[in-house]
Amino acid sequence: MINNKGDSCVGEQTIKQSKAIYWASGIVSVCGIIFEVLFGAAGSYLLGDGVKQYTLTISLFLTGMGIGATISERVTKNLILSFVWIEYLIGIIAGSSTFLLFGISAFLSEGTDAFFLYAITLVVGALTGVELPILIRKANDIGVTLKKSTARVLFSDYAGGLIGGLLFVYLLRPEFGLVKTAFLVAVINVVIALWILLYFKKELQTFKRHFTAGIAILVFLIAGVFFGEEMAFSFEQKLYRDPIIYSETTDYQQIILTKEQGDLRLFLDGQLQFSSSDEYRYHETLVHPAMATAEKRENILVLGGGDGLALRELRKYEEVKAITLVDLDPKVVALGKTNRDLVQLNEKSFEDERVKVLHEDAFKFAEHHSDQFYDVILVDLPDPNNESLNKLYTLEFYQLLRNRLAPGGSLMIQGTSPTFATEVYWTINQTIKEAGLYTENLHVDVPSFGDWGFVLAKREPVKLDQADIFVETKFLTNEVVAGLTTFGKDIDNEIVNDDGQPVSIETNTLMKPTIIEKYEKAWRSY
């Protein structure tokens, strides 16, 4: 009887310990996948080209896991302490990662931030790769067969990965941001380590020393949760010339407003969208040539433009009956409606009863609203610096917009800088032509941007010389518009390479997105 009771107690203890290991493997897997996508998001925000950054960080993280799995073969003793200290290291390194990344971006030379991000990703991936083999080995040591321990730990890992991804997308990133999320998840790693340490306390002679170290690390990370974001904000301020007056990370992008001596500036994912000192040059060129060349000006579509500045110019036309503005991010539009400085700049344009706002992807809107036709379409979207934006500069997208144009209608597209990104600008122009539209090219000097290009397109030949701008403007006149169509020899469509040979312009399509690499290469020098 005594032996049976003893065996029963041992069996119960084995079951409890194995369950603790499975729960630990699932929870640290949640943390691992969150760190993996967190690094991709941080790279996308600070370094641009989201697809590239996610690809690199995921690849490096998985490579690190492979390295870690190999290293784990040498860990055969003190399995619980090895697991605990791996969690401690993940907590310290991964928890501080985004905080340090913002600091490096603010104070060190360009390129250092990318090196740091990739190095951290590889290291954290390697530490994550050591976790599971240790847990599997420990589960096997306490009496669970190797087959069962491996299968169950891996199930906990994979299920945890799904949960981690969903948590990051729908809760952590939008509610806490990148810096606080890193510290919060690191806290979970350390808490799990302390829990496992307590669970296997009887096996450890040096329990107090390791537990005290874990508590100290936990206090550090909790301090990071409460104060890290504020300090990182001061680092982020260094990335901008003027004081930040508004900052928010939305489901789609990072929004920054700065202001200094009356100059209001909007940045999306670190890219300048306008400066209040000269934005009228950009927005007048975006709006009025298209309005002047359209046969009718009753039904207008604006893609992007959530700041309301293009709407301000459109409101000057009494014959306009309806303006549909499509902007993916409701937070940008909310800013345009409520921020005192921005409302003053856009002259309360969202209060116009003719304005209807839809929060949709511009491509999907053009694809699904096939029964709507517009006299003027204005495309005021960010530059094509990633895959999601590239689709809005493709042949397929321009074909959709062509089909939405009413007879005699005009389409105006911002086309980045023909000076800084010459090949990109003329690729956009060529792609629009391939969609079956006639084009006219314009560029304007916007001091905060530099030389900036636009493409005016119609189903019929564009007769810009017959256009009459009759509304009140600060910059544009009929004579000025005529001058905007002249390009210097160094930025015209006769592009040559370094050897003086002509460069052929390819059409940008969904299947072959040629424009992203050109854009990244062009702006790398500026």
Q: What is the DSSP letter of 274?
A: E
Cβ(89)–Cβ(77) below 8 Å? no
The count of C-alpha atoms lying within 13 angstroms of the C-alpha of 123, restricted to the half-sphere facing its C-beta, is 16
Distance CA 53, CA 40 (A): 6
Helix axes 207-238, 173-199, angle to 10 degrees: 170
Pull the structure tokens for residue 276: 């209040």
Q: Rg of the chain's alpha carbons, rounded to an integer? A: 28
Three-class secondary structure of residue 329 per DSSP: coil
Beta strands in 310-419 (DSSP E): 322-326, 355-358, 374-380, 405-414
Q: What is the DSSP letter of 377?
A: E
380 is catalytic: yes
CA dihedral 310, 316, 320, 324 (to 10 degrees): 20
- 445 belongs to an annotated ligand binding site: no
- 361 belongs to an annotated ligand binding site: yes
Cβ(415)–Cβ(340) below 8 Å? no
- 451 belongs to an annotated ligand binding site: no
Measuring CA to CA, which residue among 395, 334, 404, 337 is closest to residue 365?
Answer: 404
- 253 belongs to an annotated ligand binding site: yes
Which whole-number Å values give the CA distances from 344 to 109, 245, 306, 325, 380, in the listed order? Answer: 37, 15, 15, 19, 20
How many CB atoms are located within 10 Å of the residue 273 CB?
A: 23
Pull the structure tokens for residue 101: 């990344």
| Catalytic annotation, pick one of 113, 157, 380, 383 | 380
Residues annotated in the binding site for spermidine, as ranges? Answer: 283, 307
Residues annotated in the binding site, as ranges? Answer: 253, 283, 307, 327, 361-362
Positions marked active-site = 380
Residues annotated in the binding site for S-methyl-5'-thioadenosine, as ranges? Answer: 253, 327, 361-362
